[in-house]
C-alpha cells in the first residue's frame, strides 16, 4: 500500500502586496518542499494564469466601493475553497511579511487550522522581542520561525521520512 503524501497549505499575503510578493515565496517554498517529498496546496494556483486579472478586478471593485461584487466573489469562491484546502492539509505553513498590513484571510485560515488541530508553522521576519505578531495568531500557532532555514530543518526532522 502506498504511503499518503504529506501536504502543507501555504497561507500568507495575497491582497495588499504585489503579485511578485504573493507568488515568489510560494514558488520558492514549493520547490524546496518538493525536494523533501512534501505536497503543496497553494491558493494562488487555483487561479492559474488568471491570477493577475482577478487581482485587477478586485482592485477595481475596491476603488469604486463595489461591496456587493467583493462579497459575492469572496464568500462564494475564495473563502470556501481556501478553507477546504486548510482542512485537507497535514500542516499549514504561514508567512507573515515584515510589513504591517491586514491578513484577514490568513488569520482566518490559522483559526480553522487551530479548530481542526492542524499544526500551524509561522515564518516571519517581524520582531519577536518585543513581539510584533498578533496574539490571536500566536495562540493558533504550533511553532514560530524567524527564517526559512530553521523552518525547513524542522519540517525535515518532523515530517520527512528518512528514505526521502
User: pLDDT tens for residues 109-144?
Assistant: 999 999 999 999 999 988 888 888 889 999 999 999
pLDDT score at 131: 87
pLDDT score at 163: 47
Domain range list for the chain? 7-42+79-159
Pick the CATH number of 7-42+79-159 from 3.40.50.450, 3.40.50.150, 1.10.760.10, 2.60.120.10: 3.40.50.450
pLDDT score at 162: 57
37: exposed, middle or buried (Cβ count in 10 Å: 0-12, 13-18, 19+): middle
**Do residues 13 and 97 make contact, with C-beta atoms less than 8 angstroms apart?**
yes
pLDDT score at 164: 47
Q: Which of 57, 25, 19, 61 is nearest to 40 (CA)?
A: 25
pLDDT score at 148: 96
Residue 13: all three cell numbers together? 499575503
- Report yes or no on whether pTM surpasses 0.85: yes
Which residue stretches of the chain have pLDDT < 50?
163-164
Residue 138 CA, chain-centre distance (Å), reads 15
pLDDT score at 13: 81
The SS3 call for residue 76 is helix
Amino acid at each position: 500500500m502506498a504511503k499518503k503524501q504529506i501536504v502543507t497549505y501555504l497561507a500568507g499575503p495575497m491582497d495588499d502586496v504585489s503579485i511578485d510578493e504573493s507568488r515568489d515565496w510560494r514558488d520558492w517554498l514549493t520547490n524546496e518542499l518538493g525536494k523533501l517529498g512534501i505536497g503543496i496546496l497553494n491558493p494562488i494556483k487555483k487561479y492559474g494564469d488568471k491570477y493577475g486579472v482577478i487581482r485587477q478586478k478586485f482592485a477595481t471593485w475596491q476603488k469604486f466601493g463595489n461591496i456587493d461584487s467583493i462579497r459575492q466573489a469572496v464568500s462564494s469562491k475564495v473563502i470556501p475553497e481556501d478553507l477546504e484546502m486548510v482542512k485537507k492539509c497535514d500542516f499549514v505553513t504561514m508567512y507573515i511579511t515584515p510589513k504591517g498590513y491586514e491578513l484577514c484571510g490568513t488569520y482566518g485560515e490559522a483559526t480553522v487550522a487551530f479548530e481542526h488541530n492542524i499544526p500551524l508553522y509561522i515564518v516571519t521576519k517581524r520582531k519577536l522581542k518585543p513581539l510584533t505578531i498578533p496574539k490571536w495568531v500566536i495562540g493558533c500557532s504550533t511553532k514560530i520561525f524567524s527564517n526559512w532555514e530553521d523552518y525547513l530543518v524542522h519540517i525535515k526532522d518532523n515530517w520527512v521520512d528518512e528514505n526521502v
